[in-house]
Amino acid sequence: MKRARQRTGLENEAPQTSQESKKQKTCSYGSVFGESVLHTSVDWGNLPHHVVLRIFQFLPLIDRARASSVCRRWNEIFHIPDLWRRFEFELNQPATSYLKSTHPDLIQQIIKRHADHLQYVSFKVDSSTESAEAACDILSQLVNCSIKTLGLISTAKPSFMNVSKAHFASALTVVFVNSKSLSSIKVDDTPLDDPSLKVLVANNSDTLKLLKMSSCPHVSPAGILCVADQCHGLKELALNYYILSDELLLALSSEKHVDLEHLRIDVVSENPGQVEFHTIKKQSWDALVKHSPKVNIVMYFFLYEEEFDAFFREETPVTHLYFGRAVSKAMLGRIGLNCPRLIELVVCANGLQPLDDELICIAERCKNLTAMGLGECEVTCRGFIEFVKMCGGRLTQLSIMEEVLIPDNDYSLDRLHLEVSKHLGRMWFPDMMPTW
């Protein structure tokens, strides 16, 4: 009787259509936090073209290459120009670096099939000369390119500096001559020289907007002046102090030149006493700020205390200052007196003399100051609170190491954080580790 009922029940069920059967294979119901959810399997082979392209853009090159072998359609997408406009070549020697490297076969495929698609190109190399030379060899083959941005990045020195100047210049010349639309170049720590800059200007003067070339010892003040004279659209410039000149600032201030937005200057000395630093005239700084009133002037100092004599004797329109080595009290005093546009100040070390008076002068005279960082310095708690009180809520970034603060009769460290928090309008604590 029971078997008969079971048989009857089966007979009463409607037969499944092929479409319903297919739906059962692709859909299933589950429960997530008590709610019914429909799970649908994905047919990866039929994903829309733009979706696959977007996925490929986020994949590392080696994974993208592997994915291209899944099917013919994905292989076609792998080779479309949009995927090759932005590319970073990673060149490392396995014996000296743990970083991954772009496979030589892929490099040759890129050069063969996609050199004319490359627009935003960078080379990341380790410290070995072989890697830097390999980068130059690739650059020399980009004869049909139309590169807009070029970056040469060394993860460690010396890298490009060990490449012969002739080999490096020849490789850059290929790109400079054939691109004719370069807008951004970052070539720090390289043997770039004046003749190479002249080739750059001759072919890309109308398009160049950013030039970052710190630590390029073969470039002279005349070489960078040539760039400023001809590239009137230049908005960002980074260079070493030794090639900064009054003539360069005046060229950047000419009526033909667009407003400069960012000027970074690295002031570096490896051996104390061996470099005599020149002084830039106040009139030259004034001309630049009059022409480009919103320009950010950023200076990084890596000097010894006795080498600061040439700086900030007169008013200087610097906006961001970073001191990577010890800086004297006298120097900080001059900053308070002569840097009215200062926005950010970072002092990594200063010695054992409290900086109360210097900080209070900076707070009083530098009305645009919004960020401060102090490392191996000394400031009394009372002096620091006075500094914060004068700056008030405009200090959006305040990074002070705990050992910088010297407790006094008026304030302990516990009370200090409450007072500082009150004047800033937000909770504040001293840092245990430097954050800059």
Domain coordinates in residue numbering, the chain: 48-83, 312-435
Number of Cβ within 10 Å of residue 54's Cβ equals: 11
DSSP annotation string for 126-180: -S-HHHHHHHHHHHHT-TT---SEEEEEESSSSGGGGS-HHHHHHHHHHHHHHH-
CB 218 within 8 A of CB 192: yes
CATH number, domain 48-83, options 1.20.1250.20, 3.40.630.10, 1.20.1280.50, 3.40.47.10: 1.20.1280.50
Separation of alpha carbons 289 and 76, rounded Å? 52
Cα angle 322, 260, 236; round to 5:
60
pLDDT at 32: 42
Q: How far apart are CA 412 and CA 285, in angstroms?
A: 43
Give the tens place of pLDDT for each residue, 38-82: 455 666 667 788 888 888 888 877 788 888 888 888 888 888 888
pLDDT at 106: 79
What is the pTM for the complete model shown? 0.82
Per-residue pLDDT of the chain in tens (436 residues, 90 and over written 9): 444 444 444 444 445 544 444 444 444 444 444 444 445 566 666 778 888 888 888 887 778 888 888 888 888 888 888 888 888 888 888 765 556 777 787 788 888 888 888 899 999 998 889 999 999 999 999 888 889 999 998 888 778 999 999 999 999 999 999 988 999 999 989 999 999 999 999 999 999 999 999 889 999 999 999 999 999 999 999 999 999 999 999 999 999 999 999 999 999 987 766 778 999 999 999 999 999 999 999 999 999 888 898 999 999 999 999 998 888 889 999 999 999 999 999 998 877 788 999 999 999 999 999 999 998 889 999 999 999 999 988 999 999 988 889 888 888 878 888 999 999 999 999 887 666 5
Sign of the alpha-carbon dihedral angle for 426, 430, 434, 436: positive
Looking at residue 270, its pLDDT comes to: 73
Taking the CA atoms of 134, 140, 146 and 148 in sequence, report the sign of the dihedral they define: positive
Fill in the DSSP letter of residue 17. P
Dihedral sign (CA 103, 105, 108, 110): negative
Rounded Cα distance between 418 and 429, Å, is 9
Q: Nearest Cα to 283, choosing from 249, 252, 259, 258?
A: 249
Please tell me the predicted confidence (pLDDT) of residue 99. Answer: 63
CB 93 within 8 A of CB 128: yes
pLDDT of residue 317: 97
CA distance readout (Å), 160 to 164, 217, 223, 270: 9, 12, 20, 19
Domain 312-435 class, CATH top level: alpha beta
Spatial neighbors of 82 by CB under 8 A, at least 6 apart, are 53
406 forms beta bridges with 380
d(CA 303, CA 325) in angstroms, rounded, equals: 6
The CA-based angle 285-288-293, given to 5 degrees, is 115
Give the position of tokens 């030259």.
Answer: 284
Cα radius of gyration (the chain): 31
